[in-house]
Amino acid sequence: MSLVVIFILAPVAWFAISSVAPPKDLLTRPPRWVPWPPDFSNYYQLLWGAGEKGTTLTAFTLRAFRFSLRNSMIVASGVTLMCLVLGTLASYAFARLRIPLGQRLLYLFLLVQMVPVIVLLIPMFLVVTRLGLLDRLETVTLLLTAFHLPFVIWILRSYFLSLPIDLEEAALVDGASRLQVIRHIVLPLAIPGLFAAAVYTFMQTWNAFMIPLIFTSSETQRTVTVAIAMFVGRHYTEYGLISAAGVLASLPPALLAIFFQRYLLAGLTAGAVKG
């Protein structure tokens, strides 16, 4: 287990070290595993810099990275919210209501999600271009919602099936509507499942690369994954800046997973056993 942990965490530790190491230390042999004193100028350049101190990146590129952090937060939050709202209603319907071809529709949703994204890029790009919706965060949000919603429905449906139905039936007998049952009974009981779906959707959306790359073109509309890829220069690449950008970009999903891992595990394992 120690070897597996080292194998998984070694790349993360190396780019964290590279983000605070002077450029000359990255090329020394043997490598300096603990750079001292640590150099935090890369983080200053990314968060507040304007292209000074000899960096090869322009002030506009550095400003675009700060825009990309905001864009990723907007897109990830929007996709998560839409998937939770639509996924909750759809998954509850699949779990509790009699829907024609209900089980087959669920497998159809998963089958659509198994289709590689690159296969759908050309037709989606043509449709988006003709509608005049290219290079907009709303377009990226809608496309990513369409890709992540089927799995969210699958997760929440499994969790709703694990909840006791007696409370819902009692509320229906007392005159409550289906929406009231969902709001006052189902949602409070389904908090672990909702957290699991939200964390999964946020992390997958934050790490999305292909769709933001294809459907955004301006510097101020790119997400953080695409912005980091633009740091690679034609003649020179500043690996310290790329490492620092990677650390900043990985903080939101990492902190989200750490703080909500209890809910994430409970939601993903719900319905795995009976009894």
pLDDT tens, position by position, 163-210? 888 888 888 888 888 888 888 888 888 888 888 889 889 999 999 999
pTM of the predicted protein model: 0.84
pLDDT at 52 over 60: no
Task: Measure the CA–CA gap between 46 and 209, rounded to whole angstroms.
Answer: 20
Torsion of CA 62, 66, 67, 68, to 10 degrees: 100
Least confident of 108-112, 155-159, 178-182: 108-112
pLDDT at 151 over 50: yes
Mean pLDDT of 85-90: 93
Least confident of 77-86, 247-256, 257-266: 257-266
Nearest to 45 by CA among 268, 269, 244: 244
Return the CA Rg of the chain: 23
- Specify whether the CB–CB gap between 202 and 76 falls below 8 A: yes
Higher per-residue pLDDT: 126 or 14? 126
Question: For domain 56-269, which CATH number applies: 3.40.50.300, 3.20.20.70, 3.30.110.40, 1.10.3720.10?
Answer: 1.10.3720.10
The model's confidence at residue 34, banded by pLDDT at 50, 70 and 90, is confident
pLDDT tens, position by position, 16-30? 888 888 777 777 777
Q: What is the DSSP letter of 89?
A: H
- The mean of the pLDDT values for the chain is 84
The model's confidence at residue 79, banded by pLDDT at 50, 70 and 90, is very high
Neighbouring residues of 18: CB distance < 8 A, sequence distance ≥ 6: 26, 239, 240, 243
The model's confidence at residue 275, banded by pLDDT at 50, 70 and 90, is very low
The model's confidence at residue 273, banded by pLDDT at 50, 70 and 90, is very low
Task: Measure the CA–CA gap between 242 and 258, rounded to whole angstroms.
Answer: 24
Angle of the 102-114 helix axis to the 59-96 helix axis, nearest 10: 160
Name the token pair of 153: 């429905």
Domain ranges of the chain: 56-269
CA 85 to chain centre: 17
Mean pLDDT of 210-234: 85
